[in-house]
Amino acid sequence: MKPDTHATWQALARAAEASERLHLREMFAADVQRFASLSVSWNDWLLDYSKQRVTTATMALLHGLWHTADVPGWIARMRAGEAINHSEGRAALHIALRRPAFAGPILHAGHDVMPAVLAELDKMQRFVAQIHGRHWRGATGEPISDIVNIGIGGSDLGPRMATQALAAFRHPELTVHYVANLDGADLATVLAGLQPRTTLFIIASKTFTTQETMQNAASARHWLVQALGEAAVARHFVAVSTNLAEVARFGIDPANAFAFWDWVGGRYSLWSAIGLPLALAVGFDNFRQLLAGAHAMDEHFFSAPPEENLPGLLALLEIWNTNFLGADNRALLPYSQSLGLLPRYLQQLEMESNGKQVDRQGLPLHCATAPILWGEAGTNGQHAFYQLIHQGGRLVPCEFIVCRQPDFALSGHHEKLLANCFAQSEALMRGRTLAETTAELVASGMTAAQVALLAPYRSFPGNQPSTTLLLPRLDPFTLGALVALYEHKVFVESVIWNINPFDQWGVEYGKQLASRLLPVIVGTAQGEQLDSSTAGLVAACRSG
């Protein structure tokens, strides 16, 4: 059923029309209990959405979407291992990757996947212990000091983001690097600071055929072989892949290949062996805490009603802003330098998952889906794009993430960070009227002429909606729960929009065209059927 045909959807459209006459500062003035009624706690987390342009009546309607779209039924299908990724005929069981042994089985095609998941985790743990204990030695007998993960997309962004986020927990004698871009500058700049004899490469590619990854892997292999010889490959490369034949052909011992499964989507794979570089960076005990945090969020998502369900609330608020208030974007603003890569990670998770305009029945949708996601760590963003949010005239829903306690406790820093975060959300909500600005300038001693000149520039409309997620601290457990929170948010949105969040055919089409163009660019094919623009660009490159 198309989402915009629901009676609840129509009621929300009418509520949105009525809300156009309201300003957030008026909503707060009219309801002194607004924060209490429009915030929710989970463990020691706090989600404050009182600065969103909603009322309790609006939220009741949004909660109705949860039931109308049968979100609980879809959760049950996911947990049962059904092929909810219907266009590829696959289940989506990333929840199994962080499920503890005592929690019981998860079935896929009638078989319990948990023994294989737990066995792979044990294998990862043994490997991490070998590296950290200096038992794994390179070809010259020296211990490993640097890890280079070569992957792209989900095989890169998740562990890269989490490694930066958990910088306070890093192993003191091991440095983890990430290479993803096909541009040679990415790999070359990483290799420039490394020694072949103490470097270990992780090649992360499920099929071991991903073009970008395998080109970078081949260049890294050449760099190593030039220095240490062909026989050194087996001691300096491991793989995360299911294609053991290609792994062996590359020169990696299949015993040093770590597996994951086709029911794990790339952008949901942090919890699998794709997380091996992260486990090496922070230690396996911390990696297990990451899994425990994600599992805790899973259990909350599965059991909490929509009124208290953190992923559900974030999803419903985004649907309100996108489909009823007309926002086409969302700013993610973590007030944490350690979470600086979170916007980039969530760009893939959210826009690759829900950037669709065809529903589960293959029919065109008549409503918007995933908004454009962008953002930057605070306070850096305040000196870049906040001006546009405050006075640019666009509707920009904002999502602030901040921790009560710092992960790096330098005196005088964190209190100022908190003050800036809370002040920005207040300013976006409240704004400043022309009359308020005029009174303030008069009080400062300006002349009437100066006031008349400057007051329009220093007035702000406000009424920009925002949510603040207040976390206790940034540790492995919290980060795991945070990432799982957004995974489930994406899933709830996909159910309500009636789309499949687990495929990415637009990405695949681009890869297909690149494969067709490569022979033309290197001169082994003519490219007679290219459009004039593409043909002209190729010709210009070849002539140079």
C-alpha 90/C-alpha 263 separation (Å) is: 6
Residue with tokens 């005592």: 102
Q: Can you tell me whether residue 21 is helix, strand or coil?
A: coil
Structure tokens at 90: 């696959």
C-alpha 214/C-alpha 62 separation (Å) is: 46
Residue with tokens 């300003």: 23
Q: Can you tell me whether residue 329 is helix, strand or coil?
A: strand
Query: Of 367, 325, 311, 280, which is closest to residue 465 (Cα–Cα)?
Result: 325
Instruction: Reply yes or no on whether 206 is catalytic.
Output: no
Bridge partner list, 204: 240
Report the run of H or E that residue 48 belongs to, with start and end.
strand 45-48
Which pairing describes strands 45-48 and 466-471: parallel, antiparallel, or unpaired? antiparallel
C-alpha 48/C-alpha 34 separation (Å) is: 10
Instruction: Give the angle subtended at the CA of 513 by the CAs of 510 and 514, to the nearest 5°.
Output: 85
Classify the C-alpha dihedral 500-14-469-419 as positive or negative: positive
In sequence order, which residues have a C-beta less than 8 Å from that of residue 5 and are 6 or more positions away?
Answer: none
One of 318, 352, 376, 399 is an active-site residue; which one? 352
C-alpha 534/C-alpha 513 separation (Å) is: 11
Question: CA 273: distance to chain centroid?
Answer: 18
**What are residue 173's phi and psi, to 5 degrees?**
-115, 15
What is the greatest pairwise CA distance in the chain?
Answer: 82
Q: Check if the beta carbon of residue 259 is closer than 8 Å to that of residue 221.
A: no
Bridge partner list, 329: 372
One of 383, 413, 415, 416 is an active-site residue; which one? 383
Bridge partner list, 146: 175, 199
What is the number of other CB atoms lying within 10 angstroms of the CB of residue 150?
Answer: 31
Q: Can you tell me whether residue 404 is helix, strand or coil?
A: coil
Query: Of 8, 5, 69, 12, which is closest to residue 498 (Cα–Cα)?
Result: 69
C-alpha 81/C-alpha 96 separation (Å) is: 10
C-alpha 66/C-alpha 282 separation (Å) is: 38
Q: Can you tell me whether residue 500 is helix, strand or coil?
A: coil
Structure tokens at 527: 């490219």
C-alpha 280/C-alpha 149 separation (Å) is: 11
Instruction: Reply yes or no on whether 511 is catalytic.
Output: yes
Query: Of 423, 405, 403, which is closest to residue 470 (Cα–Cα)?
Result: 403
Instruction: Reply yes or no on whether 111 is catalytic.
Output: no
The torsion region of residue 523 among left (phi > 0), alpha (psi -120 to 50) and beta comes to: left
> Which residues have a catalytic role annotated?
352, 383, 511
